[in-house]
Every structure is written in structure tokens, then in C-alpha cells.
Structure 1
Amino acid sequence: MSDNYTVSARLRAALAGVALLALGAAASCTYSHGDPAPACDVARENVTYANVISPIFDAHCRECHGSTVYSVKGGGNNFGDYQAINSYFSPSKLLGCIRHDPGFDPMPQGRPKLSDCDIQRIEAWIAAGKKNN
């Protein structure tokens, strides 16, 4: 084989690897509905369920705690919508789980802890009275 063929094959393989890394990085930085995660400035954000908290739950919680799967996968904890969360809601348990505090089941189960920013958003939402809109 010629040197040009070997260089070309290596270049294609390297470019394919870079493309896969970029795709993986982009996918890890979006919410489930495809929008990029909002910048972390919790003190200035209007942290409501509809505009901030629901996308976090979509991305990290509803795979197991959604309305149609919570009884099988989510230990009976339904976080499928605003009303469901408020009917069950235990702030200390939720925060203990997502912060991975000792004595609590770390959530999301089997996956990395939520970002510090998302945890701060949930804490701010609870402190402000769990506003919907």
C-alpha cells in the first residue's frame, strides 16, 4: 500500500473519532427536549417548575419516576408532573437523594449526581415555595 493511502485512512479514522467525541459532548449538555442547559446564575433566574425544574426532571428523573413507569421503576414515587410531585413531595428526602447525602438513596440511581447548578436550582425552587409558573 502507498503512504498516501495509509495517511488517508488514518486521517479518516481520526476525524471519525473526533466527530464521535463532539457528538457525545453535545448530547451530554442538553436537556431531553434538545435545548442547551441554561447558564448557572440561580440568584438571577426565575426558578419555576415550568421553565427550569421540569426540564431537569425530564433529563434525569422521569425515566424511572414518570407517570407511566413510577410504580414499576420508581419505587412508587411519581414525578411525572407538577401535581404529582406536590402530592407526594418531601423536600428533605428529594434533596438528600439528589445531593447524595449519607443515609439517602443516591439519585439518579446508577448514574452520576446532578450538576451542582441543577441541585441549586431545585433548592431555590423549594425555598421560593415551589412555584409552577
Structure 2
Amino acid sequence: MSDKYPLPARLRAALAGAALLALGLAAGCTYSHGDPAPACDVPHENVTYANVISPIFDAHCRECHNSKDYPVKGGGNNFGDYAAINSYFSPSKLLGCIRHDAGFDPMPQGREKLSDCDIQRIEAWIAAGKPNN
């Protein structure tokens, strides 16, 4: 059996195929919620707890600050639902922690800081009086 393609040609083909596969996978990357990353246009967004803030808390906070685990893992801060957050909510503490300000515990603990856009959304929500819907 004669070898129709020399090894270097096969190697080039394999590398080209791997590169195309990698490019295809990279193009399929999405925002952590499964959708493309939303544009950050906070001044024009309707920032409410139900539509914007709760999904941020789901993605970054509720692993520890949920209604079950908050006494142990969440430092006593329950972000399980809107009513719980408003029962003892400290805007200055929350903002200091998520912005990683000096003198505050950086949150989420042991993970990267929230995106600047998500922080701006939380700031806008607080400034608007923490609307639910």
C-alpha cells in the first residue's frame, strides 16, 4: 500500500482541523448565564430586583448567602429573596464588599470580583430605592 500523503501533509491537515475546532469552540463561548454578554447600558436599563439583581445574586452570591446556608457560610447575610435582603440590608456594606473596597471583606469570597457592569447595576438599583419589579 503506497502512502498517498506524506506525513507532513497529514500533520498539517490534523493541525488545521484542530485549529478550526478550537476556533469553533471559542466562537461558541457565552456569558455565564448561557446568553451572550449583555451590553452595559445601566442608565437606560430598568434595574429591578426581579429582572436584574436577583440573577446577579444567583450567579455570584447565593452559593453561600441563600436562605439555608447563610448562618454558617454567608456570615449571617441572607440574600435568599427580596424580603430577606430588605429585612437587614446594608447598602454601604454590600457595595464595599462587591467593589473590594479597603476595610471590607471582598465578595464573592475566593472568587473574582463582579464585573464593573454588574456592580453599576447594583449601585443603580440601590440608588433607585431597591425596586422589586
- Structure label with greater radius of gyration: 2
C-alpha distance in structure 2 between counterparts of 1:122 and 1:74, whole Å: 19
1:71 aligned counterpart, secondary structure: coil
5 Å-filtered alignment, 1:1-133, equals: 2-23=7-28, 25-26=29-30, 29-31=31-33, 34-133=34-133
Note the C-alpha offset of 1:39. 1.9
Residues 72-119 of structure 1 deviation map (CA, whole Å, 9 limit, x = unaligned): 322221111111111121100000000110000111112211111111
TM-score (norm 2): 0.84
RMSD between aligned residues: 1.9
Change (3 A) 1:81 1:56: same
C-alpha distance in structure 2 between counterparts of 1:122 and 1:130, whole Å: 9
Note the C-alpha offset of 1:121. 0.9
The letter of the residue matching 1:106 is P
The letter of the residue matching 1:40 is C
Mind listing any 5+ residue stretches in structure 1 that lack a counterpart? none
Residues 16-64 of structure 1 deviation map (CA, whole Å, 9 limit, x = unaligned): 43344444x42xx233xx3444321111111110111111111111122
C-alpha distance in structure 1 between counterparts of 2:72 and 2:15, whole Å: 48
> Taking every aligned residue pair, what percent have the same amino acid on both sides?
75
C-alpha distance in structure 2 between counterparts of 1:61 and 1:116, whole Å: 16
Determine which structure has the larger helix proportion and give its number: 1
Question: Structure 1 stretch 69-78 or stretch 120-129: which is displaced more?
Answer: 69-78
Change (3 A) 1:38 1:21: closer
1:72 aligned counterpart, secondary structure: coil
Aligned length: 128
TM-score (norm 1): 0.84
Change (3 A) 1:68 1:22: farther
